[in-house]
Amino acid sequence: MKNTLAALAMAALTACSTAPITVDDPYAVTPAKAETVKTQVTTRGELVKMFGEPEMTVPTDEGEALFFKDLALNSFWAVIGPDGKVSDFDWSK
Q: Which amino acid makes up residue 2?
A: K
Kindly report, residue by residue over 30-44, the tens digit of the pLDDT.
999 999 999 999 999
Spans of all domains in the chain: 26-91
Where would I find the H helices in the chain?
Answer: 2-18, 31-34, 44-51
Q: Terminus-to-terminus CA distance in the chain, angstroms?
A: 46
Q: Give pLDDT, residue 9.
A: 52
DSSP state of 8: H
Q: Give pLDDT, residue 6.
A: 47
Kindly report, residue by residue over 69-87, the tens digit of the pLDDT.
999 999 999 999 999 999 9
Q: Does domain 26-91 have CATH number 3.30.1450?
A: yes
Tell me what the pLDDT averaged over the chain comes to: 84
Residues ≥6 apart with Cβ < 8 Å to 70: 25, 27, 28, 29, 51
